[in-house]
Structure 1
Amino acid sequence: MTTQDDVAGKNVDKLNENLAKVEDLSQRLIQALASRKPANPTLNAPSQDIFVKAAHSYWSEMLENPGRIYEKQLEYWGKSVRHFLDAQQALMRGTAPESEEPDPLGGDKRFANPLWNSHPYFRYIKQQYALNSQAIERALDEIDEDLPPKDRKRLDYFVRQIIDMMSPTNFLGTNPDALERAVETEGESLVKGLENLIADLEANNGELVVRLADDRAFVLGENIASTPGEVVYRNHMMELIQYAPTTDEVHATPIVIFPPWINKFYILDLKPENSLIKWITDQGYTLFVVSWINADTSHADIGMEDYIEDGFLTAIREVKAITGQKQVNAVGYCIAGTTLHLTLALMAKRGDKSVKSATFFTALTDFSEQGEFTPFLQDDFIDGIEAEVAAQGVLRSFIMGRTMSFLRSRDLIYQPAVRHYMMGEAPPAFDLLYWNGDGSNLPGRMTVQYLRGLCQRNEFVTSGFEICGERLHISDVTVPIMAVTCETDHIAAWKDCYRGFQQTGAKDRTFIVSESGHIAGIVNPPTKKKYGHFTNDDLSGDADAWIAGATRHEGSWWPRWEAWLAKRSGKMVPARAPGDSDHKPLAPAPGTYVRRKATI
């Protein structure tokens, strides 16, 4: 007969066994960290100048109004002591009493475990974290208004990063979910968590990049990026994919899509039911998509001019040759939309009329307002990037990836890290997050050109951006254009996209705001019936006036775009098989370049 003591003994033995595994794994951890090639340290934090300015501003406020500062400090001290005394009494009673004060973190899913309210220890930690956060936020609010707006915005960003980083949920000893899981699994969750941590470090040369999706669940060309097609052209910059027709006839004028080279193109072809690529072919179009090379050190001197000449203009030339058409309809997404504007301006200078219409997905051209990227577009950070690319030849993928992730650090860094490393959970099989983790390096020269000339100096909409032997301006763009932006986009805010769109020289202009964000607002198939969109033909006012007069439409913007495109795509002709006698298929879609990983 098994006694309770026997069960307890076995549990302790299992726990000790798992803890011993942790000791063994520590050697792998040390080896993984030894291979780390860290980024330039300037990219890890802002210049100390901003904190000196903030401290000076706070000190000035204290000298001018010391009573208010002392009042806030005494309030903080009083609450801290009261929380400590309450916790002491609650520990003696064994339970936490009901509080008459409103829960400052109510609704925060990080603190959903009932122990945060019922257990004296965890309740005290939660209350003190909330109090500390409030004190820091108040101190930030009280900084003198003489601090420049950009510095205030940067300070606000980094202060909130510190607040999120110091959440007690991020540490094993103060996370009841992780501690409960460790006890329930007899320590196995800690072993699995450490294995997950080491695997992520080993996969990224010792750099900690939290894996967001199970990369074993997806195979390119099989259950993701699986729309049939062929690579029909390849050079040192890109592969050109022509997709197989799904209709007997197609519009005469082909479409060529230029995706961003910060990420891989298959965000537009994740799976059949939400693939824009498949949907376009199903509507009766000959579709080409560019798949950019994943840069390595040999691409250090590749600049924006190479993307324009050997990417955009070459792709347009080859599409015309394959289809026998004089014009194409072009699409540019994100940074490729920005570059498509530059390309159109250059083509106007050269008298090249190869583009019949252009569509831009979440594309910025006017960077006078830098939005959430303000902290990363100041000289100290850009100086660090210049030093990084000078040393490495490229801006390594993990640097761009972590920058994007820190804009949503709770959702994209801390909570996945807690689940992955402290709870021992495997990441989900989620195609969007898999794509998000499949990043690309950026060529050094191109990175600096983009950040200095376009983002910082905003030359394309002011004095003109010099490239390819021409000075290009947004007003040079005159072809029929449509812009699709996203209402909650934190990367390319729709109001900023609108401001640049207004400055084009085009007379035929259509502007759309899709609901949701940078990805979900674009990858929004009609069958989902999920997000609506806004339209307004009056582009004369500012963004606030535009949205105030806009009409909301149910469902995806895709059919509205297709109706606009159909009018600019010519008559119907027999469907075209990929390639021709001069462009024999080189590889089936999604091609070979897309499979190259950012391993530097």
Structure 2
Amino acid sequence: MTSQPSLPPHVPDFEALSRNAGLFVEAMGRNVSNMLKPADGTAVPGAPPTELNEMARTLGLVAERWLSDPQKSLEAQARLGESFATLWGHTWLRLQGQEPPPVAAPEPKDPRFANAEWTTNPYFDFIKQSYLILMRWAEDLVEEAEGLDERTRHKAQFYLRQVAGALSPSNFVLTNPELLRQTLTENGANLLRGLQMLQEDIEAGKGALRVRQTDAASFEVGRNVAVSPGEVVFRNDLIELIQYAPTTETVLKRPFLIVPPWINKFYILDLNPQKSFIKWMVDQGLTVFCISWVNPDERHAEKDFESYMREGIEAAIDAIGTATGEREVAAAGYCVGGTLLAVTLAYQAATGNVRIGSATLLTTQVDFTHAGDLKVFADEEQIREVEARMAERGYLEGARMANAFNMLRPNDLIWSYVVNNYVKGKPPSAFDLLYWNADATRMPAANHSFYLRNCYLENNLAQGKMVLGNVRLDLSKVKVPVFNLATREDHIAPALSVFEGSRRFGGPVDYVLAGSGHIAGVVNPPAKPKYGYWTGGPVQGRLEDWIEAATENKGSWWPYWFSWIEAQAPERVPARVPGAGGLPSLGPAPGTYVRMKS
């Protein structure tokens, strides 16, 4: 079958198209002006963002390596030329009615090129393959650059993915058949709608573009997210402690404490009743307490890692003791909350005041050797820049951290929304997970600096060099049982990183590998499980060998985990009512701290 260019059957209204083009140029000028104007209305800053400087510097180092050897540089250019010559031949044959195999094909699951015209139309097929050839050639340059240290190579690979995402022909009207067809059909009205949303998002970001990923107006904390009933029973400068209302007549005697990450809000574990891990835990007969961290401002600038341990986890354990009469708790920490929980375990082991009877670590790193792409942002130069920025206000803006996480998956979390919102002119749909993702929190200067340096930069916790409260921490002295959950596709706490971290503990560790990624692999309720999980006993040898020998289990890991929790301390007591114990209610869940916006 002969491939022919397929043009939109719709004939544009050229008068409307011209009018909308003029409005588009005018509105784009206003938006660019707003983005260049700082929030305080002073002069336009002269330097580009630090990330762009670092990207240019890193990719420049790769270029220097190739240019230092003219012969290898010529060979690399020749390879690229040969690929394009082959593509020209391929395209010529297609225009003659033949169907030669593609020179470069996208990954089967790449949604950017799903539209059929990327293949059936020789023009767009040529654009697509040109892009793929160029980007894969650039990837090879980074991989094959001689004399490049592995850290710089890793950074270059990361930044090249950002460039590749930004330059994809799927992002632009004239090089994307779907966008071109829609723009001609709507006479450019889609672009005007997109510019209106772009202006709104720049205003929401106070001059910086904050790409919307969901319809935020569809959600409200306490109304349709974070709705599990309970009471705030304790509050200090850093936390509110929520005790959830029981749904069973008896509960496990040992109460349970959740330590969520402070870089996001706790209700990822309580998005709605159907997928709430907190509700499910309560329904199994656990007395569940959850920390809700304050959204810090300049008043919290000096709150460091020790403050988060003492005023966070330890203060919560003391409050739980007052509320229930129990000295020990079981605890779970999610992401960086798990890192803080592991630090607390090591501190308690060192001081002999062990009050956490078992620990569950959810996608948590304690050994940052294989910490993945976030290490790109944690070299000495960049940490100093972050510290200088934090010194101005006493905290790191939540948007900076959110942007870093989005850059881990730029095609999915950045450019797909840029195209949908600002080119197609379609508002994103309502999605509770992405509402939570956009509900950013700040980081106190002292805490964030300690975390970046001691974990990502120096890996002190894994090496037994971290000191907190004048106590040197050694995870090998932690003897309590640990349930260590990793997820196979995690970009934030890679499965290998969690696997290697399991070796650092001195007691029994049950390493479990769930399907999917950092969020979906954890929030996987038994009623509608999307992914399975693997169990394989002690952590030994290589992760690949462990997976090969592991048992694959269908369904959610939650029931398996609860059996593990129940086995640690199976005794039950009558259910406890929040506010009826030693601590009166300070107000209903989800409390006030979670409602603080950045």
Q: Structure 2 length normalisation: TM-score?
A: 0.90
Task: Specify the code of the residue in structure 2 equivalent to 1:400.
Answer: M
CA spacing shift, 1:380–1:282, aligned 2, 3 Å = same
Instruction: Give the structure 2 partner of residue 148 of structure 1.
Output: 149
Q: For residues 162-213 of structure 1, what are the alpha-carbon distances to aligned partners after superposition, in whole Å with 9 as ceiling and x for unaligned?
A: 1221111222332222222222223321121111111111111111121111
Instruction: Assess if the C-alpha contact under 8 Å between 1:47 and 1:380 holds in 2.
Output: no
Instruction: Give the structure 1 partner of residue 528 of structure 2.
Output: 528
Deviates more, 1:307-316 or 1:562-571: 562-571
What SS class does the counterpart of residue 449 from structure 2 fall into? Answer: helix
**2:556 matches 1:553:** no
Instruction: Assess if the C-alpha contact under 8 Å between 2:375 and 2:456 holds in 1.
Output: no
Deviates more, 1:120-129 or 1:465-474: 120-129
**Residue 134 of structure 1, CA deviation:** 3.3
What SS class does the counterpart of residue 483 from structure 1 fall into? Answer: strand
CA spacing shift, 1:329–1:69, aligned 2, 3 Å = closer
CA spacing shift, 1:279–1:175, aligned 2, 3 Å = same
CA spacing shift, 1:235–1:116, aligned 2, 3 Å = same
**2:585 matches 1:577:** no
**2:302 matches 1:301:** yes
**2:82 matches 1:75:** yes
The whole-number CA distance in structure 2 between the counterparts of 1:528 and 1:365 is 31
**Residue 441 of structure 1, CA deviation:** 1.0
Deviates more, 1:440-449 or 1:48-57: 48-57
What SS class does the counterpart of residue 528 from structure 1 fall into? Answer: coil
Instruction: Assess if the C-alpha contact under 8 Å between 1:464 and 1:472 holds in 2.
Output: yes
Deviates more, 1:226-235 or 1:110-119: 110-119
**Residue 237 of structure 1, CA deviation:** 0.3
Instruction: Give the structure 1 partner of residue 130 of structure 2.
Output: 128
Matches within 5 A, 1:243-322: 243-322=244-323
Matches within 5 A, 1:213-224: 213-224=214-225
The whole-number CA distance in structure 1 between the counterparts of 2:55 and 2:130 is 29
**Residue 582 of structure 1, CA deviation:** 5.0
Instruction: Assess if the C-alpha contact under 8 Å between 2:331 and 2:360 holds in 1.
Output: yes
Instruction: Give the structure 2 partner of residue 46 of structure 1.
Output: 54
Matches within 5 A, 1:20-419: 22=24, 25=27, 29=31, 30-31=33-34, 34-36=37-39, 41-46=49-54, 50-63=58-71, 65=72, 68-69=75-76, 71-76=78-83, 78-79=85-86, 86=92, 97-102=97-102, 104-106=104-106, 107=108, 108-119=110-121, 121-144=123-146, 146-419=147-420
The whole-number CA distance in structure 2 between the counterparts of 1:315 and 1:539 is 31
Instruction: Give the structure 1 partner of residue 538 of structure 2.
Output: 538
Deviates more, 1:397-406 or 1:534-543: 534-543
Instruction: Assess if the C-alpha contact under 8 Å between 2:84 and 2:130 holds in 1.
Output: no
Q: For residues 34-92 of structure 1, what are the alpha-carbon distances to aligned partners after superposition, in whole Å with 9 as ceiling and x for unaligned?
A: 344889832334275534532332134444x5773464254256357668x94xx99xx
CA spacing shift, 1:52–1:537, aligned 2, 3 Å = same
Instruction: Assess if the C-alpha contact under 8 Å between 1:33 and 1:201 holds in 2.
Output: no
Q: Which runs of 5+ in 1 are unaligned?
A: 1-6
The whole-number CA distance in structure 1 between the counterparts of 2:80 and 2:459 is 43
Deviates more, 1:332-341 or 1:16-25: 16-25
Q: Which runs of 5+ in 2 are unaligned?
A: 1-9
Instruction: Give the structure 2 partner of residue 445 of structure 1.
Output: 446
CA spacing shift, 1:251–1:73, aligned 2, 3 Å = closer
The whole-number CA distance in structure 1 between the counterparts of 2:266 and 2:568 is 24
Deviates more, 1:467-476 or 1:412-421: 467-476
**Residue 504 of structure 1, CA deviation:** 1.0
**Residue 391 of structure 1, CA deviation:** 2.4
Instruction: Assess if the C-alpha contact under 8 Å between 1:233 and 1:586 holds in 2.
Output: yes
The whole-number CA distance in structure 1 between the counterparts of 2:482 and 2:184 is 60
**Residue 16 of structure 1, CA deviation:** 5.6
CA spacing shift, 1:62–1:69, aligned 2, 3 Å = farther
**Residue 338 of structure 1, CA deviation:** 0.7
The whole-number CA distance in structure 1 between the counterparts of 2:122 and 2:548 is 50
The whole-number CA distance in structure 1 between the counterparts of 2:52 and 2:77 is 33
**Residue 570 of structure 1, CA deviation:** 4.4
Instruction: Assess if the C-alpha contact under 8 Å between 2:87 and 2:103 holds in 1.
Output: no
The whole-number CA distance in structure 2 between the counterparts of 1:188 and 1:280 is 49
Q: Quote the RMSD (CA, aligned, Å).
A: 2.6
Q: For residues 553-591 of structure 1, what are the alpha-carbon distances to aligned partners after superposition, in whole Å with 9 as ceiling and x for unaligned?
A: 111111111111112334222211112465222221111
The whole-number CA distance in structure 1 between the counterparts of 2:334 and 2:73 is 52
How many residues align? The count is: 581
CA spacing shift, 1:111–1:322, aligned 2, 3 Å = same
Task: Specify the code of the residue in structure 1 equivalent to 2:511.
Answer: F
The whole-number CA distance in structure 2 between the counterparts of 1:52 and 1:27 is 31
The whole-number CA distance in structure 1 between the counterparts of 2:98 and 2:207 is 46
Deviates more, 1:185-194 or 1:576-585: 576-585
Task: Specify the code of the residue in structure 1 equivalent to 2:505.
Answer: T
Task: Specify the code of the residue in structure 2 equivalent to 1:216.
Answer: A
CA spacing shift, 1:40–1:463, aligned 2, 3 Å = farther
Instruction: Assess if the C-alpha contact under 8 Å between 1:460 and 1:474 holds in 2.
Output: yes
Instruction: Give the structure 2 partner of residue 516 of structure 1.
Output: 516
The whole-number CA distance in structure 2 between the counterparts of 1:416 and 1:462 is 41
Instruction: Give the structure 1 partner of residue 3 of structure 2.
Output: none
Task: Specify the code of the residue in structure 1 equivalent to 2:500.
Answer: R
What SS class does the counterpart of residue 256 from structure 1 fall into? Answer: strand
The alignment-based identity, stated in percent, is 37
Instruction: Assess if the C-alpha contact under 8 Å between 2:282 and 2:288 holds in 1.
Output: yes
Matches within 5 A, 1:449-460: 449-460=450-461
The whole-number CA distance in structure 2 between the counterparts of 1:35 and 1:52 is 29
CA spacing shift, 1:201–1:573, aligned 2, 3 Å = same
Deviates more, 1:488-497 or 1:24-33: 24-33
**Residue 432 of structure 1, CA deviation:** 1.0
The whole-number CA distance in structure 1 between the counterparts of 2:520 and 2:589 is 24
CA spacing shift, 1:203–1:120, aligned 2, 3 Å = same
What SS class does the counterpart of residue 353 from structure 2 fall into? Answer: coil
**Residue 345 of structure 1, CA deviation:** 1.3
Instruction: Assess if the C-alpha contact under 8 Å between 1:40 and 1:387 holds in 2.
Output: no
Task: Specify the code of the residue in structure 1 equivalent to 2:137.
Answer: A
Task: Specify the code of the residue in structure 2 equivalent to 1:131.
Answer: I
The whole-number CA distance in structure 2 between the counterparts of 1:231 and 1:225 is 13
What SS class does the counterpart of residue 186 from structure 1 fall into? Answer: coil
CA spacing shift, 1:235–1:82, aligned 2, 3 Å = same
The whole-number CA distance in structure 2 between the counterparts of 1:228 and 1:474 is 36
Task: Specify the code of the residue in structure 1 equivalent to 2:114.
Answer: A
**Residue 147 of structure 1, CA deviation:** 1.4
